[in-house]
Structure 1
Amino acid sequence: MRLLKRLKFAWGLACLGLACVAPGVQAQDAWPTKTVRIVVPFPAGGASTDGMARAFAQELAKELKNPVIVENRPGGGTSVATLAVKAQPADGHTLLFQADGLFNAKLATPELAYEASEFDIISPLAQTNYALIVPASRGWKRLEDLQGLTRELDLGTLGIGVSSYSMLAARMAAHLRIKHRMVPYKGGVEGVTAVITGEIDGYFATVGLTQTVKDNPKVKVLAYTGAPGRNTFMPGVKTFHELGMADMVFNSYYGLAVRADTPARIKGLLSATARKVVDSEAMKAARQRLHLEDYVGSTEDYRRDVARMFKQYEAEFAEGAKAGK
């Protein structure tokens, strides 16, 4: 809970800082003055995270009339990328592609040399559901076919500790009354490849990544985490909710974060510019192409949603720690 309080406090300060930026003050310090880098904690190619980052970088460069590049720094449950951004000056030229791992890696490994409160979220980018994919060779046609499995179900995950992957896996296993084991990978493409080759039994792939393999005869899509009545990208596939698992409705959020000690006037410029780009027709088309949903709320709504999601991770982590004793 202390980590969550620090997060809320930092986000509150960020909101105050952004609200206090006046046009006259913005002009005092030019930004950007050099190449802007977006550090992505996942591998290049294939996954919707990398695709979203690159689409945004392209449009941001046009808006700023300044070079913007994507730097992929996978590993350590996203901590490698997070630490790389922390090591750079707090001048608004190094941004962190924010995903669940910013908080989860710290929960799993408290000794990591950063605090989540050292970063402020400046803009949402998109949101996505997950789909459970399994090797067709296993012979599972429906989710119910997993019931009664007498061995552990090997499911892929990104990074270490509590994550959207481990949380969804635990909930599904409880519903099906089976045991499971998490197998870590650096990126979604690696996890999907492991399913195709039969190395693991399943993987919760983002909807965008699922689209790349849904017609592959070696893959079967069993269900996805969408809300009732919404089926934007997965026609013909039932939601977990429809299958009686209401707590499996889940969105993962993508956003941008910056070092919290970045000057408020630069954070204000960053937030306003990023949101303008995110809401552009070009980015709406990019999200549609990547099978990602628009985040329709405000940046403050996004911060609240991320904080709410973090509460879920914190509760899962505490429950896991209790069970391990």
Structure 2
Amino acid sequence: MNFTRIVSHFMGLACVALAWAASAALAQDAYPGKTMRIVVPFPPGGASTDGMARAFAEELGKEMKTTVIVENRPGAGTALGALAVKTLPADGNTLLFQADGLYNAKLATPNLAYEPSDFEIISPLAQTNYAFIVPAAKGWNKLEDLKGLSRELDVGTLGIGVSSYSILARRMAAHLGVKHRMIPYKGGVEGVKAVLAGEIDGYFATVGLTQTLKENPKVRILAYTGSPGRNSFFPGVRTFHELGMTDMVFNSYYGLAVRADTPEKIKAQLARAVRKVVQSDAMKAARQRLHLEDYIGSTEDYRRDVARVFKLYEAEIAEEARRAK
């Protein structure tokens, strides 16, 4: 009798386990099954980040047959957005808008409660270059006008620590023979506003953001980080490379990531849907509208590019530490 009870007990447990497994499998089969979200670790209003995320969310919603919302979580050098995604379920319903500087906050503050390996890139979205803009009231009409500046050049940056902004500013200052100081902002829109108000001397604005200023008399565009011969955005503006600063060719990359521990079946399904949307005519038109370039390459190529830039940031931090001694 006791043996019968024991067998019955374990059979009951087995049935419960099978039911749980079946439920989990059904949840994956029914994916997404609820509203999805894209967490953007930058403020609303930025053409290259917020604009790209919202255009993509609309098209992804059509593909996934669900609502996809954009949730802006700016602050702490993008750490707030990354931490928000890490604390949400790894069910594929929350995506992280990924930029090459996403993990800079972790480099600057190692004790932050996440690792880059907590997230897995599932697709590139676009890429862009930067234009260096200055207040017109400063009277600088070309980059050479900054040579011999007797004070520090105040340049805006996103968040804290090393970033593409700080690297570009350091290289430019070295070429010009001037000292510089980085002034942090939460997003590109805030940086541009500071230029318009004359609060800072310059800012490396993305192409999309700079396009909104082309006709603004309060701003001057002095140079552009694009490759030689590919300046289709700013007629008449020379690239840094053309001005002899060959280490100033720089792309910023945008993509999407999920929690790395998301079930493989869901990641594969999501990656297929995302790539289909990214390559659609609607998203190609959106990138053109936002003055972003297509990323030419595979997801693996993109991961390698992001890893390369991350290594660049690590090397920059090491160099800063060396210079501080």
TM-score (norm 2): 0.91
Separation (CA, whole Å) in 2 of partners of 1:28 and 1:203: 45
Equivalent residue for 2:69?
69
Separation (CA, whole Å) in 2 of partners of 1:142 and 1:59: 41
Separation (CA, whole Å) in 1 of partners of 2:115 and 2:312: 18
Q: Secondary structure at the match of 2:29?
A: coil
Separation (CA, whole Å) in 2 of partners of 1:59 and 1:75: 27
Separation (CA, whole Å) in 1 of partners of 2:49 and 2:235: 22
- Does the 8 A contact of 1:26 with 1:269 survive in 2? no
Equivalent residue for 1:95?
95
> Residues 164-208 of structure 1, C-alpha deviation per residue, up to 9 Å, x if partnerless?
100100010111111000000011011001001100000000000
Aligned residue type for 1:87: T
Q: Secondary structure at the match of 1:90?
A: coil
> Residues 230-266 of structure 1, C-alpha deviation per residue, up to 9 Å, x if partnerless?
0121211100000000000000000001000001111
Aligned residue type for 1:133: I
Q: Secondary structure at the match of 1:230?
A: coil
Check 1:272–1:200 CA distance in 2 against 1; reply closer, same or farther (3 A cut): same
Aligned residue type for 1:125: L
Equivalent residue for 1:14?
none
Separation (CA, whole Å) in 2 of partners of 1:291 and 1:30: 36
> Residues 80-132 of structure 1, C-alpha deviation per residue, up to 9 Å, x if partnerless?
00000000010001110001332211111101110001100000000000000
Question: 1:1-325 counterparts in 2 under 5 A?
Answer: 29-325=29-325
Structure whose alpha-carbon radius of gyration is higher: 2
Note the C-alpha offset of 1:29: 2.6
Separation (CA, whole Å) in 1 of partners of 2:90 and 2:80: 18
Query: Mind listing any 5+ residue stretches in structure 2 that lack a counterpart?
Result: 1-24
Q: Secondary structure at the match of 1:318?
A: helix
Separation (CA, whole Å) in 2 of partners of 1:86 and 1:160: 20
Equivalent pairs counted in the alignment come to 301
Separation (CA, whole Å) in 2 of partners of 1:214 and 1:26: 52
Aligned residue type for 1:258: V
Separation (CA, whole Å) in 2 of partners of 1:324 and 1:182: 16
Aligned residue type for 2:100: D
Check 1:28–1:188 CA distance in 2 against 1; reply closer, same or farther (3 A cut): closer
Q: Secondary structure at the match of 2:66?
A: coil
The worse-fitting range, judged by mean Cα deviation, of 44-53 and 143-152 is 44-53
Aligned residue type for 1:67: T
Over the matched positions of the two proteins, sequence identity in percent amounts to 78
Q: Secondary structure at the match of 2:102?
A: helix
Note the C-alpha offset of 1:79: 0.2
- Does the 8 A contact of 1:38 with 1:69 survive in 2? yes
The worse-fitting range, judged by mean Cα deviation, of 97-106 and 85-94 is 97-106
- Does the 8 A contact of 2:78 with 2:103 survive in 1? no
Note the C-alpha offset of 1:229: 1.3
